[in-house]
Amino acid sequence: MVLQKIGSWTIATDRNLSEPLLVSNDCSNALSHFFQNASTQLLSVTAEAQSHPSGLDSLYAQPWVWASGGLGNMDECPLQVCLAGGTLRDSLVFASACVVPECNAMDLAADDFPAKVALASHNRQVAAVAAAVAVAAETTRTSAEFEPEFDPILIESYVSSFKRLAKINRFLKTGWVCGEYKAEWSFGTFLYLLILVVLLLLSCIGTLFVRPKSKIKSESTRTISDANTTNHAEEKKDDAEQQASMQRQQESTRIQQQSEFWDAWDMSIHLKKLCCQRPETAFLDGLKFGSILWVIFGHVIAIQSSTGPGYMNPSTFLPPHGFTTTLGGQLFFSARFAVDTFLCISGYLVVHILKTKLKRQAEHGASWWELLYLFLIRILRILPLYAMCLGFWMFVAPHLGSGPFWYQWQFYLEPCDKYWWTNFLFVNNFLPWGRPTTDSCFYHSWYLALDIQLFLLCGPWLVLLYLRSQTAGRRMTALLWTLSVVVTAFLSYTRKWSVNTLDGGSAVLFDIEGYAKPHVRAQSYLAGMLVAMLPPSSSSSSSSSSATVIYGGTRTAKAAMVTALIGLATMSLITVTGAYSRRACQFQEVPSTNDCGSSWSAEATFLYTAFGRAIWSICIATIMRLCLERQGGLIGSMLSWNIWTPLAHLSFGVYLIHPMIIFIWKLGDRQKSTFRVFSYVMDFTSITVVSFVFALLAALIVEFPFCALMRPLSKSSTTRATTSVQEEESSPLVVVQSIERNTYGTAAVAT
């Protein structure tokens, strides 16, 4: 056992030591004192407040889905609550105990703790009998007629529960947690709050006070500057007049820059632009909004079932008879395909925008400095909101709640203590090496690292090749897409990967080696790039009305759309045919040698793992192509509804924020929850609404202002010939939405 103590909170994790553990003297004395002095009422409340599992027989009867009948009534415990299990990221709490506060987690994990409790209670019974004999000697009653002030059945129930808990905990090897965890206030917390206050003040000043004045000054200065320009055209000024004119222009520039600075913090400007829609790519808003909802859908149910107290009725949720075996339950597992949708959108938009920005470089040659500057701008656009959300995760969120399960924040903060720098270098999908994605800092941000890596490896290089030779660019992109599919198939076959979440070791191996890695995910990214590189068809060039964009479509286009939709539905729901028909495998088990996980054959698992992502990317690319070619039909019309635009603009913030909302909510629970579809839908709806509200606030005070402040930097990276296009696409709601804020996905719901 290894003991970790923070204040009054202690956790003991199992390490299989050869020497037996013994209860400390402080704990032994406290137990004796408790039984000697506690009233019958206190003993009754203490005994009834903790769990009373039936023992190992119940565990053997329903392995993996065993929930031990609940966690007792922890809020009524008059002493200290200790939890059995839940000491590791991959284990859940299965019982609670109500014990004296002098006993820590190591004491409860000691081999002789049940014996110490039994001995202390026995001494209480002996003392009570002796007192009864003494009282009887002074009265006319016999000792047999005297009723002692304790209930031996109650005490035996309390003692026996510890014996059963010790056997179960020893079998599961999960350890104990005692006390209530409270995060320590650090310098980072105060610094983060100070930065947040400064950003709020800037936004309030820019919105309420500064902008109207600066706008008046700017207009006045612009009038003077125009007048000076006119006079300069009419006659030549002398040196004094030229110097005065230069001073006025400098003052005009200074005031203009000041006005632009405060305009960047004006929330009213950002709110007005929030609904701005680009007609040619309006369908992407619907794709983004639908995908982010799917991400939240998967995360809510994954975190609820595997974090905090978990479900009281896991058999209702897990296979072989739970919700996850139904047709609707497959949407939970297939939520990972939302990642590939975002990747496809990101790849398309990279080509769509860089075609204009890199046109001169393609003609005259691009220098390393220009490309490095382009990479830097891309990273800086993501960084402000990313850094603020990461700081909130590390320094603020652990202080926003309490409860018996709040200690699990430790599991998510420990990687950040060691590997926070990997997030800023965008390598957190590789480090820590050989670990699942959930073991990284701010683990759902692995997608941002993946997107940056794909941008560096594919983005500008393929666009430059395409601008020099469109045919060569398309062929190279298609070749790389094929290579990614082949590599994925090869590794799936040789490494025995499985994308089916409950396939134990095979699923864990895929999560470590492939889930967040660019060589596997590149196929979706490249599919989107290829869509942007394809030449327009004759049908799209002959279309002239917006009605054709939405409602038109040839028979071939309609057939292609139907085929793509069938392909998406098949990839999402085909797992109902047996991928989750047996109990969930434990991490050391695999379906091929154990009676668990998928009932598919090895060949079927290989085909789905190797080519499911490729099929998905082809179907999404087909839909995107049809919408771009004004052949989207009803699907294109629905995806282009104006209502999706502001919600899609907030999707980057929603992606970063919603897991924090879920963790703060669920880790603050004080009991296991009961899984019901209706309750889950209500939780999903509530978390979605709250996430969008906080994403709006984050966008107004962090994301949009910094994007506006960076606009001059972005302008300097393009030529004057493309300045107007650059200005259009570098607004906070276009470039960031089109490149940065369309480049995210979902954390690994499979883990």
Q: How does pLDDT run across 710-750, given as a tens digit for each residue?
A: 877 665 554 433 433 333 333 333 333 333 333 333 333 23
- Check whether 130 has a pLDDT greater than 80: no
Mean pLDDT of all residues in the chain?
Answer: 81
Confidence of residue 184 (pLDDT cuts 50, 70, 90): confident
At 627 the pLDDT is 93
Mean pLDDT across the stretch 90-116? 88
Q: Which has the higher per-residue pLDDT, 258 or 353?
A: 353
Q: Which of 224-233, 422-431, 581-590 has the lowest mean pLDDT?
A: 224-233
Inform me whether the pLDDT recorded for 550 exceeds 70.
no
Report, as an integer, the average pLDDT of 442-469.
Answer: 92
* Per-residue confidence band for 293, with pLDDT thresholds at 50, 70 and 90: very high
Give the separation between CA 271 and CA 203, rounded to whole angstroms.
13
Backbone angles phi, psi at 27, to 5 degrees: -70, -45
Give the confidence band of 647 by pLDDT, cuts at 50, 70, 90: very high
Q: Is residue 377 scored above 80 in pLDDT?
A: yes
- 157 or 197: whose pLDDT is higher? 197
pLDDT digits (tens, 9 = 90+) for 307-353: 888 888 888 888 888 899 999 999 999 999 999 999 999 999 999 98
Residue 473: pLDDT band (50, 70, 90) is very high
In this predicted model, what pLDDT tens digit does every residue of 592-606 receive, in sequence order?
A: 888 889 999 999 999
For the stretch 409-424, pLDDT in tens is 888 998 999 999 999 9
DSSP assignment letter at 718: S
Task: Read off the pLDDT band of 253 (50, 70, 90).
Answer: low
What is residue 208's DSSP assignment? I
| Residue environment code for 707-721, b if the CB has 16+ CB neighbours within 10 A, otherwise e | bbbbbeebeebbeee
How far is the C-alpha of 549 from the C-alpha of 331, rounded, in Å?
Answer: 30
Please report which confidence band the pLDDT of residue 664 belongs to, taking 50, 70 and 90 as the band edges: very high
**Residue 376: Cβ within 10 Å count:** 12
Check residue 147 and give its pLDDT: 46
- Region 300-306: mean pLDDT is 90
Query: Phi, psi (5° rounding) for residue 84?
Result: -95, 125
For 667-704, the pLDDT digits (tens) are 988 888 889 999 999 999 999 999 999 999 999 999 99
For residue 278, pLDDT beyond 90: no
The pLDDT score that the predictor gives to residue 749 is 29
Residue 133 has pLDDT above 70, yes or no: no
Core vs surface per residue 593-626: b (16+ CB within 10 A) or e: ebebbbbbeeeebbebbbbbbbbbbbbbbbbbbb
pLDDT tops 50 at residue 146: no
pLDDT value of position 239 = 65
Long-range pairs of 413-418 with CB within 8 A, sequence gap ≥ 24 = 413/183, 415/439, 415/440, 415/441, 415/443, 416/390, 416/441, 416/442
**Average of per-residue pLDDT across 54-65:** 69
Residue 660 pLDDT > 70, yes or no?
Answer: yes
User: By C-alpha distance, which of 185, 176, 178, 175 is closest to 8?
Assistant: 178
Question: Is beta strand 9-13 parallel, antiparallel or unpaired with respect to 2-6?
Answer: antiparallel
Q: Which ranges of 425-517 does DSSP label H, i.e. alpha helix?
A: 446-457, 459-468, 470-494, 505-510
Q: Residue 280 CB: number of other CB atoms within 10 A?
A: 12
pLDDT at 61: 67
pLDDT band at residue 257, thresholds of 50, 70 and 90? Answer: low
Residue pLDDT, tens place only, 697-721: 999 999 999 988 887 766 555 443 3
Task: Tell me what pLDDT residue 656 has.
Answer: 95
pLDDT band for 240, please (50, 70, 90 cuts).
low
**Mean pLDDT within 433-443:** 90
Give the model confidence (pLDDT) of 21-42 as tens digits. Answer: 788 999 999 998 888 887 778 8
Helix (H, G, I), strand (E, B) or coil at 84: strand
What's the confidence (pLDDT) of residue 69? 65
Confidence of residue 3 (pLDDT cuts 50, 70, 90): low
* pLDDT score for 217: 47
Q: What's the CA gap between 706 and 713, in Å, rounded?
A: 11
Is the per-residue pLDDT at 237 higher than 80? no
Q: Quick one: pLDDT at residue 244?
A: 66
The predicted pLDDT at position 215 comes to 47
Edge to edge, the sheet with strand 9-13 lists: 2-6, 9-13, 176-178, 80-85, 93-99
Tokens 């997030």 map to which residue?
Answer: 423
pLDDT band with cut points at 50, 70 and 90 for residue 527: very high
Tell me which of 189-203, 464-478, 489-503, 727-741 is least confident: 727-741
Higher-confidence residue: 745 or 299?
A: 299
